[in-house]
Structure 1
């Protein structure tokens, strides 16, 4: 754990990290493709879904490598895993580029380890295709070992550092369970975002006539203040745009319309009673 803490605070990695991040931002990739890689359409990050293909193939190949008469099958699995690593790495790079610096430091080493692992598997595939199966198996086992290190770092990034998690979701538990007055309906500006505190949680309200919606104000991607974002569209399709990274959420139901956020913004039940706007936990 001390090593991981040092890695999280290793500012020496920042020059490399920043240059790679700039390169990702500068890449001529359409927004639709970026949303695809972020998993906006899926409801959560795409990267952990895609890694199942290469990981499964590599582990299966390792099992077959210790069994007799399975050379062709093991070679095919190594080929599938090596090819499947490419889209998984692309999705991971897209997510990594939008993370905070402490997460990017761990993610950089995670990516480097996986890149080495894929290189070893590519060498394993070449050796197998040339009939050097002993060398191919050795490179495969080495690749699996390095991939295991990469997976450990990826787990730390996801679970210990909450990389890719919806940062706004824990706020729901801090909203009162009973209906709580957030303010009067008249105090909310029409068709403009307004932030009110419910309990000790900032909530973003949006009024369109007599209809009011409410969502957790801190962006689920990296906790940016959505109350400072612009509203685009109108009526039921009105959306708020995150002022930090551009994630776009539909105000009436929190649906994510544009990444890098991959999941919807948490919303709250709303009612108007005696001229007051009330909210509670879902």
Structure 2
């Protein structure tokens, strides 16, 4: 029944109207590219949202443990932890919303409910903090445990979004394992146009090759963001730009320069011998 509910949620196009309005608001709020890149985690080569959620989750879980201890000092420490967790909600939510705004519709539907559930959890924790600060400790603890339960449901949806639907993961990383471990010829050096990316099949995997004179660089052709064909993109200043969503990667080391990709692009070792270009798994 749970799986059926998740499937219905993925297909619930009734959520698209609200999702489109929220996406417009997110795009207007986080317009500067450097800010979007930062929230995507592009400078880190790793999505930022999973890193930022550790603060509120850790603080709220620790507060729940301390609330079980019948002492005034533990109650005071739990209050501080809840305040700390609430302070960490805004940056985590901002990063999550920016990532969400670049996802496919089925992921956006789950992500929208994920965000709504976490908003309810945040409201319960705000109520808990207010109750604690006004001397209503028992009510504050009850609201905190309710908030933790709701946040758990939100975390479940977030896990489904990431691991079942592939939101935020690198879509290029699984392709690396399909590259042969031994040197495999991808084509002749003469067949590669100078200064233009091209795709060649190595084993059963598409690989982007880029030639500069006698030097060749290679990376997985499938963009880490949503799997776009990088070889069909443009090259500028030593970087390739994905034709689907504009993610930009350095050709020499695969590092992400601009989002929406948060993950670096896997590069492959290259060998040129006797006029033949060969690649292998790193």
SS in 2 for 1:60: helix
Q: Which residue of 2 aligns with 1:50?
A: 52
Offset, 1:26: 2.4
CA deviation string 1:133-191 (max 9, x = no partner): 12111111111110010011111111111211110111112222221111111111111
SS in 2 for 1:174: coil
State the number of aligned residues.
278
CA deviation string 1:217-256 (max 9, x = no partner): 11010001111211111xxxx0001112111001111111
1:272 correspondence with 2:251:
no
SS in 2 for 1:203: strand
The TM-score normalised by the length of structure 1 is 0.95
Gaps of 5+ in 2: none
- Measured in 2, the distance between the counterparts of 1:185 and 1:89 equals 48
User: Structure 1 residues 2, 127: CA separation in 2 closer, same or farther (over 3 Å shift)?
Assistant: same
1:59 to 56, 61, 67: 61
Contact preservation (8 Å) 2:198, 2:232: no
- Measured in 2, the distance between the counterparts of 1:229 and 1:21 equals 25
1:141 correspondence with 2:145:
yes
Q: Which residue of 2 aligns with 1:107?
A: 111
2:12 to 10, 13, 16: 10
Gaps of 5+ in 1: none
- Measured in 1, the distance between the counterparts of 2:24 and 2:216 equals 39
SS in 2 for 1:109: helix
- Measured in 1, the distance between the counterparts of 2:183 and 2:79 equals 61
Offset, 1:280: 1.4
The Cα RMSD (Å) is 1.2
SS in 2 for 1:41: helix
* 1:1-282 → structure 2 map (5 Å cutoff): 1-68=3-70, 69=72, 70-233=74-237, 238-282=238-282
SS in 2 for 1:164: coil
SS in 1 for 2:177: helix
CA deviation string 1:12-39 (max 9, x = no partner): 1111112211222222532112111111
SS in 1 for 2:42: coil
- Measured in 2, the distance between the counterparts of 1:39 and 1:137 equals 35
SS in 1 for 2:5: helix
The TM-score normalised by the length of structure 2 is 0.95
SS in 1 for 2:217: strand
